[in-house]
Amino acid sequence: MSSEVIVYIAASLDGYIARSDGSIDWLDIAGPDEAEKSMADFVKLLESVDCLVMGRKTFNAVKRFNPWPYGELPIVVLSDTLTEVPQIEGANIRVCSAQPAELLRDLESKGFARIYVDGGVTIHGFLREGLVDRITVATVPVVLGSGKRLFPEKGPEFRLKLESSAVLESGIVKSTYRCLSNA
């Protein structure tokens, strides 16, 4: 069985996914109506996947969400340093230190067909190993000037094919690409 690995992430126009301190407060630029639509999109995404893989920093940011937005969706936190996962009511979380390809093989062996990957470092790892099938970027009309980059300054080249693109009322451009190959 071969799983489909997807990425869905917001980025500033200049390619940052968070401020230098990890803050994503700039996502509020869309306003409450657009935020509600974006959340509905996100819920649809979560309903369409079998598992979510995220890194420790992303987990540290989302573990404070109340209510827990992922329900019982199986979540794997990739980390070499995290040893215990805080108890979150209704959450299905495990910690793993495997490399992306090894983790993907494990998830496929457990029957996970559609896997969502989130968090900058984790996304970079899956892209570097050529494991991402599709990437959706919601480009927010704001220039941050610095922060945590969506793509590392130096990294592998990979080819993409645009599958769809839509301009939302807020000016956010949501584009979905099929990953063709690593160059």
What is the mean predicted confidence (pLDDT) over 24-45?
74
With 90 as the cut, is the pLDDT of residue 163 above it? yes
With 80 as the cut, is the pLDDT of residue 183 above it? no
Token pair, residue 178, equals 């099929």
Which domain CATH number covers 59? 3.40.430.10
With 80 as the cut, is the pLDDT of residue 2 above it? yes
* Residue 60 three-state SS: helix
With 80 as the cut, is the pLDDT of residue 38 above it? no
With 70 as the cut, is the pLDDT of residue 139 above it? yes
Query: Where residue 60 falls among pLDDT bands split at 50, 70, 90?
Result: confident
With 80 as the cut, is the pLDDT of residue 28 above it? no
What is the mean predicted confidence (pLDDT) over 163-181?
91
Domain count, the chain: 1
Give the model's pLDDT for residue 100: 96
Asked if residue 138 lies in contact with residue 172, where contact means CB atoms within 8 angstroms, the answer is: yes
Question: String of b and e for 93-106 (b: at least 16 CB within 10 Å)?
Answer: bebbeeebeebbee
* Residue 99 three-state SS: coil
With 60 as the cut, is the pLDDT of residue 149 above it? yes
The pLDDT > 70 percentage for the chain reads 93
What range defines the domain where residue 96 resides?
Answer: 4-182
The CB density around residue 58, as the number of other CB atoms within 10 Å, is 23
Give the model's pLDDT for residue 34: 64
CA distance 163 to 111: 26
